[in-house]
Structure 1
Amino acid sequence: MPLQFQDKVVLITGGGSGIGCATAIKLSNLGATLALCDINFDNLEATAKLCASTLCHLDDVDVGSTQEVSKFVETVVSKFGAIHHVFNCAGVNPTSYPLETTTDEYWDKLVNTNLKGIYNVTRAVIPHLKSGASFVNVSSISGLRASAQQAIYCATKYGVIGFSKCMALELGPKGIRTNIVAPGYIDTPTNAGIVKGGEAVTRMINGNALGRLGTPEDVADVVAFLFSEESRYMNGSVVEIDGGIKMSSTTSG
């Protein structure tokens, strides 16, 4: 039976580009009502045009801001009456720095978005969820494997997994599931390797058994499955979406 999301409201952070945008399009095609946020409103509007067959609410939100997140969630519930699924996708990709040259500003930027952002959204949404709801949170292969000169990014992505597994334990008795996706080398505009280009892209392509970069759609398909009833006994799972990663120091995204 094909996945169906009619009468389901799905909240997606980071919906303006990459994996968040692809997931919005996927769920729109499956009938979901969407609540999308991003720090770039123009990008959100572009996503909404690609989801023209469904009802969307758009808002520019810094997920690291408790106040902005709370206002967004309250607006979504007021407008649609419920939230059924949450895709915590907003994140900042890494820039490689030796630890001794890492700045407080860089730490704050990554931690506030990649980790505190999930905390803010989760805390704001929980009071509005009922049994059958679910979360999917975005970690990374860098949440499972360390990378030199990416200590701060790895810390946030390892943190996402730990936080999400605690969510699964705490919310599971209420019938609310939490799962995690850990993408590998995905072809998105903000992927550090894509930005570098050239040999960095070649290393990523050669860095997994399938010999290609992943696409945002590859991740979106897994997210839709994790929201569906077909994954009803998955809770606290980490799903690696990496094409069969090899042991290497290639930059992840």
Structure 2
Amino acid sequence: MDRRFDGKVVIVTGAGSGIGEATARRFAAEGARVVLTDTVADKIDAVAASLPPGQATAVRTDSSDFDQVSAMVQATIDRYGRLDVLVNNAGTITQGTVQDTSITDWHRVIETDLSGVFYGTKAALGHLLESKGCIVNVSSVSGLAGDWHMSAYNAAKGGVSNFTRAVALDHGKDGVRVNAVAPGFIWTDLTSDDGEAHELSDEFSRRIALGRGGLPDEVAAAITFLASEDARFITGVVLPVDGGTMASNGQPAQA
């Protein structure tokens, strides 16, 4: 594997499992020193311990708390002296119509999925300006179009998509690139053993051009591409990583 990130320092939020874990592993495999964050310390401790000694640091952080995010970024600078890439991946979800969604759940989703991206960006941006680094946010196909019964999540991820574009405009001439990925249906540890998810997967597969759900490392590959010099003339992009889901206009397949 290419070592595109030798000498680089990368923060990956929500790195205890799924897309975040796969992304941290991919950056480490390509030579980066990686700071992993999550609200569950045991998860990121285990991932960090499985990487080469000295290459990863776990910092328990709630991405919905700006003070904790700021402290984590400062800890990164104190340990490594620089920051080159921020991956804002931490997220949560709730389902239901507006009438079904409690005020508590609304704030939980918005604070984690949207404010968390703002908090990470605000805390890290000064250091990224120094290194001419970049940000990759994890949005969703749900941030590009709407879903039934997911209004809070749609609002948060829609905000992430347009926040990405706005920050790219503001800081492109400063040498900082800002992009996002928009995953579709992705298999994770939580869904792999879930019978209901397998039934849902059959329905998704009929709507996905490639005929299957994605894997976390396939999203990680897109994230590391956007963070690399290979993407040096790309900014303000929200890249679907969805097997072709967004290629459809929603009409059913014809026989």
Same fold per superposition (TM over 0.5)? yes
SS, match of residue 207 in structure 2: coil
**Partners of 1:91 and 1:189 in 2: how far apart?**
15
The answer to whether 1:12 aligns with 2:12 is: yes
Which residue of 2 is the match for residue 112 of structure 1? Answer: 111
Question: Which runs of structure 1 show a deviation greater than 6 angstroms over 4 or more consecutive aligned residues?
Answer: none
Instruction: Tell me, yes or no, if the aligned pair for 1:38 and 1:60 is still in contact at 8 Å.
Output: yes
Partner of 1:218, secondary structure, is helix
Q: How far apart, CA to CA, are the structure 2 residues paired with 1:194 and 1:222? A: 26
What secondary structure sits across from 2:99 in the alignment? helix
The 3-state SS of whatever aligns with 2:62 is coil
Q: What is the 5 A alignment of 1:31-46?
A: 31-46=31-46
| Alpha-carbon distance in structure 1 between the residues aligned to 2:91 and 2:191 | 11
Counting only pairs closer than 5 Å after superposition, residues 1-253 of structure 1 correspond to structure 2 as 2-52=2-52, 55-93=55-93, 95-129=94-128, 130-190=130-190, 196-245=196-245, 246=248
State the alpha-carbon separation in 2 of the partners of residues 188 and 142 from structure 1.
17
Distance 1:26 1:131 in 2: 21
Structure 2: runs of 5 or more not aligned: none
TM-score (norm 2): 0.91
Report how far residue 173 of structure 1 moved: 1.1
Uncovered stretches (5+) of structure 1, i.e. residues with no partner? none
d(CA) in 2 for partners of 1:166, 1:48: 33
What is the CA RMSD across the aligned residues, in angstroms? 2.0
Identical residues among aligned pairs (%): 35
Q: Which moved more, 1:189-198 or 1:56-65?
A: 189-198
Question: What TM-score results when the alignment is normalised by the length of structure 1?
Answer: 0.92
In structure 1, what residue type is equivalent to 2:224?
A: A
The verdict on how the C-alpha distance between 1:228 and 1:3 changes in structure 2, with shifts beyond 3 A counting, is farther
C-alpha deviation, 1:212, in angstroms: 1.1
Q: Distance in 1 between matches of 2:77 and 2:201?
A: 42
For the 8 Å contact 1:61–1:72, the answer to whether it is kept is yes
SS at match of 1:197: helix
Q: Is the 8 A contact 1:188 1:215 kept in 2?
A: yes
Q: Say how many residue pairs are matched.
A: 248
Say if 1:172 and 1:235, in contact at 8 Å, map to a contact too: yes
Letter in 2 for 1:96: Q
The separation in 2 between residues aligned to 1:114 and 1:193, in whole angstroms, is 25
> Separation in 2 of the partners of 1:198 and 1:18?
17
Change (3 A) 1:81 1:240: same
* Contact preservation (8 Å) 1:28, 1:53: no
**What amino acid sits opposite 2:153 in the alignment?**
Y
Note if contact 1:23-1:221 (Cα within 8 Å) is conserved in structure 2: yes
Whole-Å Cα distance in 2 between the matches of residues 198 and 218 of structure 1? 19
Partners in 1 of 2:147 and 2:193 — Cα distance?
13
Please list the CA deviations of residues 103-139 of structure 1 after superposition, one character each: whole Å capped at 9, or x if unmatched. Answer: 0011011001000001111101111122530000010
How far apart, in 1, do the equivalents of 2:56 and 2:185 lie? 29
Q: Secondary structure of the residue that 2:163 maps to in structure 1?
A: helix
